[in-house]
Structure 1
Amino acid sequence: MENLKGKVALITGGTKGIGYGIAEALLNKGVKVVITSRAKSAAESAAKELASKTNALDAIIGVEADVRDLKSQEAAVKEAIAKFGALDIVIANAGLGHFASIEDLTEQQWKDTIDTNLTGAFNSIKASVAELKKSKGYYITISSLAGANFFAGGSAYNASKFGVTGFTQAVMLDLRQHGIKVSTIMPGSVSTHFNGNEPSDEQAWKIQSEDIGELVIDLLKMNPRTLPSKIEVRPTTPPSK
């Protein structure tokens, strides 16, 4: 995908944070973008804001879709095709985190985390694989360094992200003979609103959402013969403890 202009991308959870940063980066390269959210108003509002910021008024739409539901994801793919005529890139970004000791973690918190982070990644590729085979496209999941490093209070989040990392690598082996590239990005500390964080100047040391956007562009423009299948990303200089 050396020339990204005119390609079509679907980004789950694209209304803020990493998904928003990726959407902005893609729009600035001439990619047509569909962002999703569980809330239609949030998806449409973010799409309008991104269109204004990137001067891409006819190149982005916001769609209501729930990654936990396969039929909802299939409907989002159909909407992307109906609007833009193809699908070249799918970014499985939607995610959430519940953090507590196993003694305190509720069954619902466990299900919410697994269903959104892991089953959501499954639903995203199941809904789009036929279109990506046609376009010889690219499927990218946003995992986490928590998908390789466990920590106390992270049983649900660790399980979901370890799962996303392994799932994506297996999918890569399944699909590369079809000409579909598959990668997972594993960020460390990112300055977003995730888990109640409030971005501020004091967090300038953290990875910024636009940095992940730049990384996605780099992956898409990589020579077709080369596939960085798993990428760990961390802040260069975190504060001293």
Structure 2
Amino acid sequence: MIDGKVAYITGGTKGIGYGIAKSLLEKGMKVAITGRSLQSAVKAAEALSTDPSKVLALESDVSSLASEKKAVEAVIAHFGKLDVVVANAGVGHFASIEDLTEQLWKETIDTNLTGVFNTVKAGIDPLKQTKGYIITIASLAGTNFFENASAYNASKFGLVGFTQAVMLDLRKYGIKVTTIMPGSVATYFNNHVPNDADAWKIQPEDIGELVINILQMNPRTLPSKIEVRPSMPPGK
């Protein structure tokens, strides 16, 4: 049963994070979502639910461990516990290594990899109390490298390895850890605006449904790494 459980979702104001939050709320869970600004988080939270007992909006910078610890403390103060952490916040900067700047490299690694480390670290102690779940949102780019993606590939390859090692570290406490590796998703990622041409792509609510399936799986079974891709991409 997941009804009444509490989830903390980074990057929950739009895209995959928002889709997961919406799906969990529909199943009776309570959710806290973060955004880079409190204003964006509040706007998204109000769209999800007007009931403050069900959704909490928070501002947090995942690249800061102190910021993530403060956010998790706010979740505990508001809801009384934490059952699920979804480390979803991410950025994408794509350029040849010749043109990739130090700033873009650092922002990519600080958000996509160090940011997940910070989110996970902040959530470990409360998740020990509930024998909870950690889900990281990686990418097929974490196993498939491609041109102009050295920073993004590095962050996602690292994220997949990090999550798998964390799974081994934490399962002795009853904490389950899964990484989801989506292919093309219809989101606002990398300044894209979802439109009708994205109908073939994975939709954010599809990832939300997958998260629900993971959380409802028999506790004896752990799907530690899940690749998910569009079933019929164009030209296939």
Normalised-by-shorter TM-score class: over 0.9
Instruction: Report the counterpart of residue 30 of structure 1 in structure 2.
Output: 28
Distance 1:201 1:125 in 2: 35
After TM superposition, the structure 1 stretch with the greater mean CA deviation from structure 2, 209-218 or 193-202, is 193-202
Instruction: Report the counterpart of residue 228 of structure 1 in structure 2.
Output: 223
Instruction: Report the counterpart of residue 75 of structure 1 in structure 2.
Output: 70
What TM-score, normalized by structure 1, do the two folds share? 0.97
Match of 1:225, SS state, is coil
Instruction: Report the counterpart of residue 195 of structure 1 in structure 2.
Output: 190
Q: Is the Cα–Cα contact under 8 Å of residues 51 and 58 in structure 1 kept in the other structure?
A: no
Distance 2:43 2:234 in 1: 35
Tell me how far 1:198 sits from its aligned partner. Answer: 1.7
Distance 1:197 1:44 in 2: 22
Tell me how far 1:185 sits from its aligned partner. Answer: 0.1
- Aligned ranges 1:208-227 → 2 under 5 Å: 208-227=203-222
Tell me how far 1:58 sits from its aligned partner. Answer: 2.5
What TM-score, normalized by structure 2, do the two folds share? 0.99
Tell me how far 1:57 sits from its aligned partner. Answer: 5.0
Distance 1:198 1:27 in 2: 25
- Aligned ranges 1:19-168 → 2 under 5 Å: 19-52=17-50, 56-168=51-163
- Give CA deviations for 1:15-35 in whole Å, capped at 9, x if unaligned: 000000000000001111000
Tell me how far 1:202 sits from its aligned partner. Answer: 1.4
Distance 2:52 2:88 in 1: 23
Any unmatched runs of 5+ in structure 2? none
Tell me how far 1:200 sits from its aligned partner. Answer: 1.1
Tell me how far 1:148 sits from its aligned partner. Answer: 0.2
Q: Which runs of at least 4 in structure 1 moved beyond 3 Å after TM superposition?
A: none
Aligned residue pair count? 236
Q: Which amino acid aligns with 1:191?
A: A
Q: Which amino acid aligns with 1:167?
A: F
Tell me how far 1:216 sits from its aligned partner. Answer: 0.1
Instruction: Report the counterpart of residue 4 of structure 1 in structure 2.
Output: 2
Match of 1:9, SS state, is strand
Any unmatched runs of 5+ in structure 1? none
Query: Quick one: percent identity of the two aligned structures?
Result: 66
Q: Is the Cα–Cα contact under 8 Å of residues 32 and 59 in structure 1 kept in the other structure?
A: yes
Instruction: Report the counterpart of residue 206 of structure 1 in structure 2.
Output: 201
